[in-house]
Amino acid sequence: MKSDQVKVVENYIKETNKQLQLSKTNKKDEVYAISPTGEADRVNPSPRMMLKSAGVTRVDYRWNYCRIKISAKALKFAVGSGIAIAGVYAPARAVQAACSVAGIAVSTSNIKHGVWFDYNYFTGIFMGKAGKQ
């Protein structure tokens, strides 16, 4: 790789490590780090039990982006104001775009489940992948 490409990768890793450190102190949000093999490891222990509900609100970190999962309840707020979770802020336009890709009408109040989407927190862009929870 060229030296400028190495610097970009190093910056991604540095930013991801920073986000993971911030997540360790936040006991409210569920945060997972996904290994290259696809295994999920909990970053921050939480006293809450995961209950069956209309989706979950959590962040799964990959090395250069994260998968944000927003529950139906939180989604109603996020489409208007964006969402800050585990040190990552996704603006309302990114949440709205994710809902559009996932086939969720944001204008309706009958959102039954949440949405997930891939978001590059380093560059601040929605990566075009989204789905329903």
Between 34 and 104, the higher pLDDT residue: 104
Between 35 and 93, the higher pLDDT residue: 93
Mean pLDDT along residues 90-118: 85
Between 53 and 129, the higher pLDDT residue: 129
pLDDT tens per residue, range 21-73: 766 666 666 777 777 777 777 766 655 544 445 678 889 988 889 999 998 88
Residue 85, pLDDT above cutoff 60: yes
Give the domain extent around 64.
3-127
pTM above 0.85, yes or no: no
pLDDT at 91: 93
CA 27 to chain centre: 16
Dist CA 105 CA 59 (whole Å): 22
Asked if residue 133 belongs to a domain, the reply is no
**Residues 6 or more apart in contact with residue 68 via CB below 8 angstroms:** 59, 83, 85, 88, 90, 116, 117, 118, 119
Asked if residue 23 belongs to a domain, the reply is yes
Residue 17, pLDDT above cutoff 60: yes
Number of domains present in the structure of the chain:
1
Give the whole-number percent of the chain exceeding pLDDT 90: 25
Asked if residue 132 belongs to a domain, the reply is no
